[in-house]
Amino acid sequence: MEITLVQGDITEQRVDAVVNAANSSLLGGGGVDGAIHRRGGPEILAECRALRADRYAGGLPAGQAVATTAGRLPARWVIHTVGPVYAKSEDRSHLLTSCYAESLKVADSLAARVVAFPAVSAGVYGWPMDDAARIALATVRAAGTRVTEARFVLFGAEAYRVFSDVLARLD
């Protein structure tokens, strides 16, 4: 599998699936989540509401992932995952690892081959970017998956630089 990095807006990616850094409610928010729902339109939210009613009455737990279609986005699917909120007092990195591993499993179940990821938990949820990058890249690199390209779409030059440095050290 190829890991690629681009600086940009994940909602513009013409890929099979984009991963959303959602919250447990699946009903939208700020950051990537807000951008995906704004640009994707109300279809995504309608599917999220149905998921809440059917499968996730208590919300989607941190570390898990679930797909909807992508409405008006150029991608075909949105894979919603819920990152952990960063906490200095507790190591929650297994949950961030799980976000990437579970998102790839959902991608495989959809036969998605090219998947765009944001830096899950590295915005509102406060995860330090270098550690978020290390967990993201190492997990994706180690995954057994039929995904052929994992494209990290980084918002801003600094996030892109951090991911590039971490990726170079992984190789």
Name which position in 40, 63, 71, 83 contacts ligand AR6 (CB under 6 A).
83
- CA dist 118 and 98 (Å) reads 15
Is 84 a binding residue for ligand AR6 by CB under 6 A? The answer is: no
Q: Which of 32, 60, 62, 112 binds ligand AR6 (CB under 6 A)?
A: 32
35 in contact with ligand AR6 (CB under 6 A)? yes
Instruction: Yes or no: say if 141 and 3 are a contact pair by the CB < 8 Å rule.
Output: yes
- When binding is defined by CB under 6 A, the residue of 17, 23, 75, 162 that contacts ligand AR6 is 23
Please check whether residue 79 is in contact with residue 67, taking contact to mean a CB–CB distance below 8 angstroms.
yes
Going from the C-alpha of 99 to that of each of 5, 43, 118, the distances in angstroms are 18, 23, 11
Catalytic-role residue among 33, 91, 165, 171: 33
**Where are the extended beta strands (E) located within the chain?**
2-7, 17-22, 65-69, 77-82, 114-117, 149-154
CB of 76 to ligand AR6, least distance (A): 17
Q: Is 33 in the site for ligand AR6 (CB under 6 A)?
A: yes
Is 165 catalytic? The answer is no
- Residues annotated as catalytic are 33
Footprint of ligand AR6 (CB under 6 A): 9-11, 21-23, 29-33, 35, 83, 118-125, 153, 155, 159
